Amino acid sequence: MKTISTLLFCIYQLIANAQIDAIWKGGSPGRETDWHFVPNWSTSRIPDEFSIVIIPDVSSASGNFPVISKNAGQINALIIESGANLTIPKSGSLAVESNENSLILGKLFNQGRFEFSPLPMPLKATSPAVAGGKRFIKTFSSMLQITVLYDDF
């Protein structure tokens, strides 16, 4: 009986802690760009530490990219597809736990707190992110260096 209970507990942990792809949809009336609004996500829940967040180019659909206006906590990985963007104003913050699955092909506008853990990290970035209209991501042989600028948009 103890073996069965242990096995069931292990299975539960695997299911409960599985990584989930959270794909940005945006465009919910009145809260079109709100990261913290559940209907803006494919999973019908706000991304958490088990989420691999994917921000596609929605310019031809809703045209509304996410804005993190308060603490968004921690996510597992971040993928910003080409043509997409993510904005973090001064009041916002986001922590990304995993580097292995993160990819920035679009733009990241950051004036708040944006953390990758751990640094340095292998991250593919083909397009510079900007803060206050200035570049703040430089790539060096597949390593990412982040310098955050605090300029107004």
pLDDT in tens, 51-104: 999 999 998 888 899 999 999 999 999 999 999 999 999 899 999 987 677 888
Dihedral, CA of residue 107, residue 112, residue 87 and residue 34, to nearest 10: 150
d(CA 28, CA 25): 8
Residue whose C-alpha is closest to residue 46's, from 36, 34, 32, 31: 36
* Burial (CB count within 10 angstroms: exposed 0-12, middle 13-18, buried 19+), residue 47: buried
With bands split at pLDDT 50, 70 and 90, how would you rate the model's confidence at 128? very low
With bands split at pLDDT 50, 70 and 90, how would you rate the model's confidence at 123? very low
Q: According to the model, what pLDDT value does residue 17 have?
A: 55
pLDDT in tens, 17-38: 578 999 999 999 999 999 999 9
Tokens of 116: 């990758």
